[in-house]
Amino acid sequence: MPVIRILPHPEYCPEGKTIEAPAGTSICEALLDNGVEIEHACEMSCACTTCHVVVKEGFASLGELDETEEDLLDRAWGLQPTSRLSCQAILSNQDVTVEIPRYSINHAREKH
């Protein structure tokens, strides 16, 4: 089972976190299932950028970006060459390391 290493984020996981999730799971689902309450305003339907992550290791192992995700990422705060929408980044059998950007474009964040 692949491991996801989440780098420290002041709000979502101040100490960082390491979790396991089955291959075929999106990074967003894995984070939420393991207590990392990443924003996901569109309920993981690939319609916003609030679940944006920067993949620090393991980028090539994730499922391919489609045109919709690429277009949305253009609007993400802090876009990097290895940025993904975590709701669309599907795990394979390789470990990944992700960073959740400090900010998102969602100014009216709702608590879940």
From CA 9, how far away is CA 1, in angstroms rounded? Answer: 24
* pLDDT at position 106: 59
Tell me the residue range of the domain where 77 lies: 3-99
| pLDDT for 102 | 86
User: Per the domain annotation, does 62 fall within a domain?
Assistant: yes
**Looking at residue 67, which CATH number applies to its domain?**
3.10.20.30
Overall number of domains in the chain: 1
Q: What is the pTM of this model?
A: 0.91
In a domain? residue 53: yes
Angle made by CA atoms 29, 35, 38, in degrees to the nearest 5: 60
State the Cα–Cα distance between residues 18 and 36, nearest whole angstrom. Answer: 11
Identify whether 106 is part of a domain. Answer: no
User: Does residue 105 fall inside a structural domain?
Assistant: no
Print pLDDT tens along the chain (112 aa): 999 999 999 999 999 999 999 999 999 999 999 999 999 999 999 999 999 999 999 999 998 999 999 999 999 989 999 999 999 999 999 999 999 998 776 544 444 4
